[in-house]
Chain A
Amino acid sequence: MNPLHSPLNRRQFLRNLGISAAALPFLAGLPSLTGAPLPQRRQRVVIMFSPNGTLPSQFWPDQEGADFEFKSILKPLEPFRDRTLLLNGIYNKIRGDGDSHMRGMSCLLTASELLPGNIQGGSDNPAGWAGSISIDQEIKNFLQSRPETRTRFGSLEFGVAVPDRADPWTRMSYAGANQPIAPVDNPYDMFGKLYGQMKDKESLVSVLDDVRDDLNRVSSKLSARDKMLLDRHLSLVRDLEQELQNTDADAALQHPVPELDPSIELVNDNTPQISRMQIDLLVNSLANDMTRIATLQFMRSVGQARMRWLGIEEGHHTLSHDPDGKQESQDKLQRINTWFCGEFAYLAKRLSETPEPTGEGNMLDNTLLVWTNELGKGNSHTLDNIPCVIVGGGPGFKMGRSLKFDKVAHNRLWLTLANAMGHPIQTFGKASLCEGGPLQLS
Chain B
Amino acid sequence: MHLPKRLHPLLLISLVLPFGAVQGGEVTAAHPGAAIYQKLCVDCHGPQGEGVAAEYNEPLTGERSLAALTKRIARTMPEDDPGVLVGDDAAQVAAYIYEAFYSPAAQARRNPPEIDLARLTAPQFRTTIADLIGSFRGGFQAPAKGEHGLKARYSARPRDAKPEEEKTGEVKKKEDVRFERVDKQVALAFGSESPDPATMSAEQFSVRWEGSVLAEETGVYEFVLKTENGARLRLNDQKKLLIDGWVTAGSEVREEKKSVFLLGGRAYPLSLEFFKYKDKTASIELQWKPPHGVLETIPERHLIPQQVRPTLVVSTAFPADDRSVGYERGTGVSKDWHQATIVAAVAVADHVEENLAELSGVKPEAPDRIPRLRDFARRFVETAFRRPLTEEQQCFVESQFGFAKSPEIAIKRVVLFALKSPHFLYPELHERAEPDGYDVATRLALSMWDSLPDEALLRAAGEGKLQTREGVATEANRMLRDPRTRAKLNGFFHHWLDLERAESISKDPQAFPGFDEAVLADLRTSLALFIDQVVWSERADFRELLQADYLLLNERLAKFYGKGEVGPGFQRVAFDPKERAGVVTHPYLMSALAHNKLTSPIHRGVFLTRNVLGITLKSPPNAVEFEDSKFDPSFTMREKVTELTRDTSCMGCHSVINPLGFTLEQYDAIGRWRTEDNHKPVDAGGELPMDDGEIVRLTGARDVADLAARSEDAQRAFVRQLFHHTVKQDAAAFGPNTLDALRRSFSASEFNIQKLLTEITIISATKDLPTPDPQLARK
Residues of A within 8 A of B (CB): 2-5, 7-8, 12, 15-16, 26-27, 115-122, 126, 128-129, 161-169, 177-178, 192, 200, 203-204, 206-208, 210-211, 214-215, 218-219, 221-223, 225-226, 229-230, 232-233, 236-237, 239-240, 262-263, 265-268, 271, 299, 302-306, 315
Could you tell me if A218 and B431 are in contact, using CB atoms closer than 8 angstroms? yes
Residue in contact with B403 in the complex, picked from A7, A118, A164, A305, CB distance below 8 Å: A7
Q: How near does chain A come to B332, taking the closest CB pair, in angstroms? A: 8
Interface centre among B117, B278, B392, B431 (most CB of A within 10 A): B117
Chain A residues in 8 Å Cβ range of B429 = 218, 221-222
Chain A residues in 8 Å Cβ range of B116 = 225-226, 229
Contact status of A222 and B276, CB under 8 A, knowing A118-B248, A265-B364 = no
The complex places the Cα of A126 from the Cα of B335 at a distance, in Å, of 56
Report the nearest A residue to B204, measured CB to CB: A120
In chain B, positions 455-511 with a C-beta closer than 8 Å to chain A are: none
Chain A residues in 8 Å Cβ range of B403 = 7-8, 12, 15-16
Contact status of A207 and B249, CB under 8 A, knowing A27-B339, A226-B430, A232-B333 = no
Sampled A-B contacts (8; CB under 8 Å):
A7-B402, A192-B350, A200-B346, A214-B422, A215-B422, A222-B117, A302-B163, A304-B169
Could you tell me if A221 and B162 are in contact, using CB atoms closer than 8 angstroms? no
Could you tell me if A167 and B333 are in contact, using CB atoms closer than 8 angstroms? no
Contact status of A315 and B169, CB under 8 A, knowing A218-B423, A230-B117 = yes
Q: How near does chain A come to B101, taking the closest CB pair, in angstroms? A: 22
Contact status of A178 and B249, CB under 8 A, knowing A120-B277, A214-B422, A230-B117 = yes
Could you tell me if A211 and B161 are in contact, using CB atoms closer than 8 angstroms? no
Contact status of A226 and B117, CB under 8 A, knowing A117-B248, A167-B163, A204-B342 = yes
Chain A residues in 8 Å Cβ range of B230 = 118-119
Could you tell me if A204 and B168 are in contact, using CB atoms closer than 8 angstroms? no
The complex places the Cα of A229 from the Cα of B332 at a distance, in Å, of 7
Could you tell me if A233 and B249 are in contact, using CB atoms closer than 8 angstroms? no
Q: How near does chain A come to B340, taking the closest CB pair, in angstroms? A: 12
Chain B residues in 8 Å Cβ range of A267 = 168
Could you tell me if A4 and B250 are in contact, using CB atoms closer than 8 angstroms? no
In chain B, positions 331-351 with a C-beta closer than 8 Å to chain A are: 331-335, 338-339, 342, 346, 349-350
The complex places the Cα of A200 from the Cα of B168 at a distance, in Å, of 32
Q: How large is the interface on B (under 10, 10 to 19, 20 to 34, 35 or more residues)?
A: 35 or more
Could you tell me if B163 and A118 are in contact, using CB atoms closer than 8 angstroms? no
Report the nearest A residue to B165, measured CB to CB: A163
Chain A residues in 8 Å Cβ range of B31 = none
Q: How near does chain A come to B618, taking the closest CB pair, in angstroms? A: 28
Report the nearest B residue to A266, measured CB to CB: B167
Chain B residues in 8 Å Cβ range of A215 = 422
Report the nearest B residue to A180, measured CB to CB: B247
Q: How near does chain A come to B313, taking the closest CB pair, in angstroms? A: 19
Complex interface: stretch among B39-47, B411-419, B629-637, B758-766: B411-419
* Beyond A163-B165, A167-B246, A233-B425, 6 additional pairs, beta carbon < 8 A: A120-B161, A207-B413, A210-B417, A223-B2, A240-B342, A315-B169
- B38 in the interface (beta carbon within 8 A): no
The complex places the Cα of A12 from the Cα of B402 at a distance, in Å, of 11
The complex places the Cα of A177 from the Cα of B165 at a distance, in Å, of 27
Complex interface: stretch among B83-91, B393-401, B555-563, B748-756: B393-401
Interface centre among B160, B249, B421 (most CB of A within 10 A): B249
Contact status of A203 and B412, CB under 8 A, knowing A4-B392, A120-B162, A163-B167 = yes
- B166 in the interface (beta carbon within 8 A): yes
Could you tell me if B167 and A164 are in contact, using CB atoms closer than 8 angstroms? yes
In chain B, positions 114-128 with a C-beta closer than 8 Å to chain A are: 114, 116-117, 119
Report the nearest B residue to A16, measured CB to CB: B403
Could you tell me if B392 and A236 are in contact, using CB atoms closer than 8 angstroms? no
Contact status of A203 and B333, CB under 8 A, knowing A119-B247, A214-B422 = no
- B77 in the interface (beta carbon within 8 A): no
Could you tell me if A118 and B279 are in contact, using CB atoms closer than 8 angstroms? yes
Q: How near does chain B come to A401, taking the closest CB pair, in angstroms? A: 37
Q: How near does chain B come to A74, taking the closest CB pair, in angstroms? A: 25
Residue in contact with B430 in the complex, picked from A119, A165, A211, A223, CB distance below 8 Å: A223
Q: How near does chain A come to B114, taking the closest CB pair, in angstroms? A: 7
Could you tell me if B114 and A203 are in contact, using CB atoms closer than 8 angstroms? no
- B718 in the interface (beta carbon within 8 A): no
- B711 in the interface (beta carbon within 8 A): no
Residue in contact with A129 in the complex, picked from B117, B249, B338, CB distance below 8 Å: B249
The complex places the Cα of A262 from the Cα of B407 at a distance, in Å, of 9
Chain A residues in 8 Å Cβ range of B338 = 233, 236-237, 240
- B541 in the interface (beta carbon within 8 A): no
Could you tell me if A166 and B246 are in contact, using CB atoms closer than 8 angstroms? yes
Q: CB-CB contacts of B238-282 with A at 8 A, as 1s and 0s?
A: 000100101111110000000000000000000000011111000
The complex places the Cα of A219 from the Cα of B117 at a distance, in Å, of 11
- B105 in the interface (beta carbon within 8 A): no
Could you tell me if B168 and A214 are in contact, using CB atoms closer than 8 angstroms? no
Interface centre among B2, B334, B350, B403 (most CB of A within 10 A): B403
Could you tell me if B423 and A214 are in contact, using CB atoms closer than 8 angstroms? yes
Q: How near does chain A come to B595, taking the closest CB pair, in angstroms? A: 42
Report the nearest A residue to B406, measured CB to CB: A262
Chain B residues in 8 Å Cβ range of A126 = 277-278
Could you tell me if B114 and A225 are in contact, using CB atoms closer than 8 angstroms? yes
- B3 in the interface (beta carbon within 8 A): yes
Q: How near does chain A come to B116, taking the closest CB pair, in angstroms? A: 8
Could you tell me if B2 and A161 are in contact, using CB atoms closer than 8 angstroms? no
Interface centre among B247, B406, B412 (most CB of A within 10 A): B247
Interface centre among B167, B169, B416 (most CB of A within 10 A): B167
Could you tell me if A223 and B169 are in contact, using CB atoms closer than 8 angstroms? no
- B420 in the interface (beta carbon within 8 A): yes
The complex places the Cα of A305 from the Cα of B403 at a distance, in Å, of 38
The 4 closest A-B pairs by CB, nearest first: A268-B168, A4-B392, A226-B117, A118-B248
